[in-house]
Amino acid sequence: MSYEAPFAGLKVVDLSQGIAGPYCAMLLAQHGAEVIKVEGIGDGDWARTLGARYGSHTAFSIIGNLGKKSIAVDLKSEAGKQVVWRLLEGADVFLEGFRPGVIQRLGFGYEAVAAREPRLLYLSISGFGQSGPLSGRPAMDPVLQAYTGLMSENRGEDGIPHRVPVIVVDMSTALYAFQALSAALYARRDEPRGRYLDASLMQAATALQSIRLMACHLEGGTMKPGGAPGGVFQVADGWMSLVAINDRDWRSLCAAMAQPALAADPRFATPALRLANDTTLYTIVRPILAAEPWAVWSRRLTEAGLMHERLNSYAEFLDQPQVRESGLIQWLNQAGLEQPVPVPALPGMPAPADRTPRGTAPVTGQHTVEILAGHGYAPGEIDALLAQGVVAATG
């Protein structure tokens, strides 16, 4: 155990699929844990089929499985279940992401697993939680964006609710689950038994929106803007984000726009007045900002000390000097791809190096033979399991 690998020595068995559970387990792997990803035979984790495919990978499966080892097992066969039980011996963490009731039917519910491994931490990730009228429904990120109000609050100027294209609910679920597991691992040092942890996409989506949810409740409708002017503005050669809502910043913006009379306009003298007259304010400000290119506004607004930034595409973002010089992005080669892919460095952890275990996402069943051998299976037993279709290996 060290700051570089605080979870070194921990064994994790990951039966989760998609992105919320796998990304949580990936974080455990990046923090030093040994993570065994148990997948079905064939395509494996269904995240490997989302979006554009590159051999056995998609962008989802790469990000969700860096640093893990993969074993492909027929979980519906009795022999396959016995393999999983062998993997669970001595495990510290178990993750599953099936709909409520499925893991129990497979024979790996919490009570059954805890009976054999009493100090194990057991994490279930689901869409709506383990109980309630919607618990049995299939659910992914867009469903919970709709259900929890996120889409309704994310309206464009056209008034139409929009889905956030980044899978913010899945990713936040993974982060909240990782936080819960990390705290439980710390507490377990002084506890005689492990515990059951329940994390749902519904919980995470709601927690992520805590402030806006509360504000809308208190204000009896949609949350009022924090101030004006603020938002996205068109410039001569693109778009930029700008915030200038307190009095000092408002005066600085007026100076940057070469509009001293605007700073003295009584309609905009205070934050409350600017917000009350925001339609008139934006009618004045938007054409001024649209008349000059980004380079001009960046220079003026930087000199004024105002919060602003150009709206970049991902390609433009990756090419930014700040991104390059801070080491934010690691370019890692992966199986099935002809070029390295950009992987963000995790806060507080050393960046994974190319072609190392931490920097590599396995293909389905890549480590099947290695994992079985490491759990006491003799070569002849491994050959028999492969021949019978109980497990499968790649490469």
Above 90 in pLDDT, residue 312? yes
pLDDT, tens digit, 9 for 90 and up, residues 149-191: 999 999 887 889 999 999 999 999 999 999 999 999 999 999 9
pLDDT at 14: 98
Mean pLDDT, residues 9-20 taken together: 97
pLDDT, tens digit, 9 for 90 and up, residues 194-214: 999 999 999 999 999 999 999
Q: Hey, which bits of 188-246 come out as E strands?
A: 196-200, 230-235, 238-243
Stated pTM of the model? 0.94
User: What is the rounded average pLDDT for all residues in the chain?
Assistant: 96
pLDDT, tens digit, 9 for 90 and up, residues 363-383: 999 999 999 999 999 999 999
pLDDT, tens digit, 9 for 90 and up, residues 330-354: 999 999 899 999 999 999 999 999 9
Above 90 in pLDDT, residue 1? no
- State the Cα–Cα distance between residues 306 and 256, nearest whole angstrom: 10
pLDDT at 55: 85
- State the Cα–Cα distance between residues 127 and 217, nearest whole angstrom: 24
The CB density around residue 393, as the number of other CB atoms within 10 Å, is 19
Gyration radius of the chain's alpha carbons: 26
Q: Residue 395 — very low, low, confident or very high, per pLDDT cuts 50/70/90? A: low
Above 70 in pLDDT, residue 120? yes
Mean pLDDT, residues 239-254 taken together: 97
